[in-house]
A and B are shown apart, each in its own frame.
Chain A
Amino acid sequence: MVLASVWIKFWETVLTIGFGSFTILVLLIIPLGARDVFRLFKKLDAVSRQNEDSQD
C-alpha cells in the first residue's frame, strides 16, 4: 500500500502539471488562433488574386 500511495501522489502531480499547462495553452490559443484564421483567409485570397493577375 506504501507503493500505491507513492503512485497516487505521482498521478496527482502529473495531472496538476498537465491540466495546468493545458489551461494556459487554451487561454493563449483562443485569441491568437482567431487572429490566425483571419490571416489565413487574407493570405489565400491574396495568393489567388496574384495568380489571376499573372495569368492576365
Chain B
Amino acid sequence: MFETQFTNLDWVIVVVYLVGTGLLGMYVNKHVHNASDYLVGGRGAGTALSIASFIGTGLGLVTLMYASMDGFTKGFSYLVVPLIAFIVYLFLGTSGFAIKRLREMKLTTLPEYFEKRFSRQARITSGLIAVLAGVLNMGLFPKMGATFITYATGFGGEDAELTVNLITTLLIVMVLVYTVMGGMVAVLVTDYIQFVVLSLGLGLGLWFCFTDLDNNLGWANMVSTWQNSKGEAAFNPVHADSYGWTYFIWQIVIVFTAGICWAPEATRALTTQDSATTKRTFLFGAPGFFVRMAIPAVWGIAAYTYVFHHPELHDYFLGENAAGHASQAMPLLLGKIIPTGFLGLLVAGLLAAFMSTHDSYLLSWASIISQDIIAPLKGVDKLTDQQSILYTRISVVLIGVFLLIWGIWYELPESVWTYMSITGMVYLSGSATALIGGMYWKRASTRGALWAMYGGLLAISGLYVEPIQKWYEVEYGASITYWFNGPSLTLTIFGICILLFIAGSLMFPDREQILIAMEDE
C-alpha cells in the first residue's frame, strides 16, 4: 500500500544533488568578506536574483506540505489563500507600502526599525518576540520535511514514527552545518538554484496530476470527485462547511502583515540594491507567492482524488477508523505517479527547498538575536564583524537544538498552516501594528509600540484552542468551534493590539513629541 516508484537511481540523484549544492555553498563562502556580506549579502542582489531568492525562501518543503494538507482536507477552497497572497504582493509591489521606506532606512534586521523610530527597548522587545514567534513557527518544519521524505521514498507505513524522527534529526544536522558555513551569500546563490530546480519539479508534479488519467486524475476527475464528495464546500471558501468568512479575513490580515514584517521575507526586502528593486521584487514575486501554495494545493486535491478511488488507501485515509494523516497523502501520491528518475530529481529539489527555507529562516532569527538582542544588551551600537558572525552562528545552533526537541515532541495538528498562522500572529499582531503605525502616524509613541507588542503575546493562547474545544465538547456535549477558534481568537488579539497601541501612544507620548507640541503652542 505504501510502496512508491522511488529506486536506488533516485537515491543517487538525491545524494549527488545535495552534495553538489553543499559544495557550492562552501565555494561561494570565499566571496564573504565581512558581516554585511554574511547577513545581507552585501546588499548586492539584483532584481532577478532577489526575486528568485524571495520565492526560493517562501517555497520550502514545508510550504508544499501544509498547502497540500489543506488541499487534501478542504479541496479547491484552499486556493483562496494563494489568491490572497497574489493580490497582496501585487499591491505591495505597486504601492511600495511600508517596504519602500524599510529599504530606504538601510536596516540589517527589522527590529532595528523600532530603535530608529521608537527606542532601544522597543528594538529588544521586538527582537525577543520575533525570535519566540519565529522559532515556534518553524518548529514543525523539520518533521514535515521528514514526513515527506519518508512517504515519497516508500519508507512510510502505519508505524513510521521512528523513521520520521530519525530523518528529522538528520535533516536538522545537515541544515545547521550548511547555514553556519555559508551565510547570506550562500543563501542567495542556492536559493537561485533551488528556484530553477523547483520550478521544473513543481511543473512536473502538476503535469502528472493533470494527465494521469489511468489513476483517475486529471482536472475533470478531480472536480467531479470533490463535487460528489463534499459538494459546494469543496469550491466555496466562505461556505459554512468550509473555512468561512472569519478565516478569510484572518488570512488577508496575516498575508498582508507577514509580507511587510515577517523577518525571513522582509529581510529579502533589505538585501536588494535599492528601494526600486525592493518594489520590483514584490511585484514580480507575486506569481511565485501564488504558485508556492497553489501547486501543492492542487497536489493535495489530486491526492484526495487518488485515495478516493483506491479502496485500501480510502480506508486508511478516509475510512471510519482512518489511521492516516493528511500530511502523508501528497508525498505518497507523488511517489506513486511520478516515474523513477524524475522522482529522484523532484525529491532532491524539494530537499534542497527544505534546506533553502531553513537557512533563510535560521539566519533571519539568529541575526535578530545577535544584532537586536545581544548587541543592545551589551550596550554597543554595532558588534564587530567577528562577534556578529560568531553570535549568529551560536544562535543558529541553539535554534537547531530547539527544533530537534520541538519537532519530535509536538504532534502534527490537522492543519499545519493554521498552526503557523497562529504562531506568526504572536509577532505580527503587535509588531505590524507598531511598524505601520510608526510609519504613518506621527503621534505613535514608544509606550504604544511596547503595549502592542506585549499584546501580541496573547496569541500564544491560540495553540491551546484545539484542546479547549475538545475539552468543552466532552464536558458540556456542545461544540464551541463556530465562535471560539484560532482565527477568531487571534483576530480579536490583533484588534486588542491596535487599541493598546493607540491608547499607549495617546496616554504616554514620547519626549520629542511633547517638545514639538510645546513649540507649536
Contacts and interface: CB of A to CB of B under 8 A. Distances in A.
Given A8-B76, A45-B31, A29 B195 contact: yes
Interface in B26-79: 28, 31-34, 37, 41-42, 44-52, 76, 79
Nearest to B301: A11
Nearest to B200: A26
Interface residues on B, range: 35 or more
B48 A36 contact: yes
B420 to A, nearest CB: 21
Nearest to B202: A22
Contacts of A25: 51, 284, 287-288
B44 A33 contact: no
B195 A11 contact: no
Contact of B223 (A8, A18, A21, A33): A8
Contact of A4 (B45, B79, B199, B235): B235
Given A33-B52, A40-B42, A4 B291 contact: no
Interface residues of A, number: 35
Contacts, number: 116
Given A34-B192, A40-B42, A18 B294 contact: yes
Contacts of A22: 199, 287-288, 290-291
B291 A18 contact: yes
A15 B293 CA distance: 11
B189 interface: yes
Interface in B281-296: 284, 287-288, 290-291, 294-295
A14 B79 contact: yes
Contact of A40 (B45, B219, B234): B45
B413 interface: no
A48 B295 CA distance: 42
A30 B50 CA distance: 12
B192 A37 contact: yes
Interface of B: 28, 31-34, 37, 41-42, 44-52, 76, 79, 82-83, 86, 185, 188-189, 192, 195-196, 199, 203, 206, 219, 223, 227, 231-232, 234-236, 284, 287-288, 290-291, 294-295, 298
7 contacts: A25-B287, A29-B52, A33-B196, A39-B44, A39-B46, A44-B31, A48-B34
Given A40-B49, A43-B42, 5 more contacts: A15-B79, A19-B295, A21-B290, A33-B49, A40-B188
